[in-house]
Amino acid sequence: MKILFLDHSGVLGGAELSLLDIARYYQDSCLVVLLAEGAFKTRLEQEGIPVQVLTSQLTGIKRDSSFWQSLSSLGQILPLIVKIAQLSRNYDVICTNTQKSMVLGAIASLISHRPLVYYLRDILSADHFNRANLWIAVAIANTCVAKVIVNSKATQSAFVAAGGKAELTQVIYNGFLPDRFQQPPENAIQLRQELGLEGQFVVGSFSRLSPWKGQHVLLEALTHCPQNVTVLLVGDALFGETAYVERLHQQVVELGLGDRVKFLGFRADVSSLMGVCDLVAHTSTAPEPFGRVIIEAMLCRTPIVATAAGGVLELIEPNRTGWLVPVNDAVNLAGVINECRIHPEQAAVIAQRAYQYASHAFHLDETCRKFSQWMELVKSFPNF
Ligand code: UDP
Ligand code: GLC
């Protein structure tokens, strides 16, 4: 089975890290085609996964670009489509990992007569996309795609609610290798010292800095916690959200949080950093399609609190494997932080249970097994 993976992004977002995990499985029989240079390409190269970057003007099209803006870019992207079609002739299936790449992949697949799979990792709703882009995504998926693999039931429901054909969809959760998240306890002690966190109750956020990831809600929650609670904001603005980053810095000053908040930027050592946290907080203000960070915290045996929306509801069993709080509710979030601080032994029991659960229910082997099963089926679909 030879797969051509297509992703428009050059950055290391959750969609790209998930693709990396699957591409590793197909290392000897795949090509990852990207439409931008960046850290994702470097990472694929480091891991020996074949990658090719096709550059274009496409990165100018945003999720909220108008239909006409998107259409006017078509002239610039036609050569790109032709190139993708040419490359795909050497592969059995084209698997697209993002909405933009799905649009290009769809046209390329019509030229090269290769079946197209859309790994849908977004909640297709007005929270995340404008109407025209939603319509385009659903219309193309319904007509050109052999299978829409979705990263959660929430993503599946949103696709169907937006007019997508339910029978096209198949849920395949993201998978993880538990061993990659294990750290010797002395690492955490040393890292705590390096970061000046001794004696602190540390709450970590491990999401890119973006308004809908809700870091501002966590900062507000911190004002309802005692002085020995510190927040680590791990992650950077990956898609140009610099105004939000400035707003967060300003919020820290306005709320007088001073050195109780540490901005660590994008880090490659997420599991080590999760190891120094007493709690991981996932604070998305719009439904999260899946939320890799939640399973990663579980695998690090760090307790997790997350906002109750989207795919998150499929990952956490409240009060058994983590905590759920309403969206945009800083007071409730602070309540969980304080509860965890006051009853660490109870939090440790929940974290241990979550570890057991996640290491079985979200194992990468199972994700790759299901994915390859579907790829074999798609390959044998008639009419391509
Ligand atoms: N991540 C990372 N370094 C950082 C912040 C986040 O490697 O500084 C990773 C994190 O471990 C997770 C991914 O980025 O694997 C984010 O994926 P998620 O599904 O949680 O959210 P997304 O950003 O894709 O919406
Ligand atoms: C997207 C989603 C995120 C999901 C990731 C991997 O980036 O925003 O929720 O975990 O894809 O599927």
How remote is the CA of residue 377 from the centroid of ligand 1, in Å?
31
Closest approach atom of ligand 1 to CA 238:
23
Closest approach atom of ligand 2 to CA 310:
9
Closest approach atom of ligand 2 to CA 289:
9
Q: What is the rounded CA–CA span in Å between residue 323 and residue 338? A: 12
Q: Is the pTM of this model over 0.85?
A: yes
Q: Is 20 near ligand 1, meaning CB less than 6 Å away? A: no
Where residue 56 falls among pLDDT bands split at 50, 70, 90? Answer: low
Mean pLDDT of 6-29: 97
* Per-residue model confidence (pLDDT) at position 67: 46
Closest approach atom of ligand 2 to CA 18:
6
How remote is the CA of residue 100 from the centroid of ligand 1, in Å?
20
Model confidence pLDDT, tens digit, residues 64-117: 555 456 556 667 789 999 999 999 999 999 999 999 999 999 999 999 999 999
Model confidence pLDDT, tens digit, residues 244-303: 999 999 999 999 999 999 999 999 999 999 999 999 999 999 999 999 999 999 999 999
Share of the chain above pLDDT 70, in %: 94
Question: Closest-lying ligand to the alpha carbon of 239?
Answer: 1
* Per-residue model confidence (pLDDT) at position 381: 77
Judge whether residue 59 has pLDDT over 50: no
HEC sequence for 309-373: CECHHHHCCECCCEEEECCCCHHHHHHHHHHHHHCHHHHHHHHHHHHHHHHHHCEHHHHHHHHHH
Question: Closest-lying ligand to the alpha carbon of 173?
Answer: 2
Question: Closest-lying ligand to the alpha carbon of 213?
Answer: 1
R_g (Cα) of the chain, nearest Å: 21
Judge whether residue 57 has pLDDT over 60: no
Counting ligand 1 atoms within 8 A of each CB, the residue from 293, 304, 362 with the most, and so the one to mutate, is: 293
Contacts of 241-245 with C-beta under 8 Å, sequence gap 24+, read: 241/208, 241/209, 241/210, 241/211, 244/209, 244/210, 244/211, 245/209
Q: What is the rounded CA–CA span in Å between residue 302 and residue 350? A: 9
Q: Is 277 near ligand 1, meaning CB less than 6 Å away? A: no
Q: Is 15 near ligand 1, meaning CB less than 6 Å away? A: yes
Cβ neighbours for 266, distance < 8 A, ≥ 6 positions apart: 12, 208, 234, 235, 236, 238
Closest approach atom of ligand 2 to CA 152:
12
Q: How far is CA 366 from the centre of its chain?
A: 18
Give the containing element (helix H, strand E) for 77.
helix 74-88
* Per-residue model confidence (pLDDT) at position 355: 98
Spell out the domains of the chain, with CATH numbers in brackets. Answer: 3-175+364-379 (3.40.50.2000), 178-361 (3.40.50.2000)
CA angle 317, 321, 327 (to 5 degrees): 60
Q: Is 292 near ligand 1, meaning CB less than 6 Å away? A: yes
| Ligand 2 atom 11 nearest Cα | 15
Q: What is the rounded CA–CA span in Å between residue 250 and residue 74? A: 40
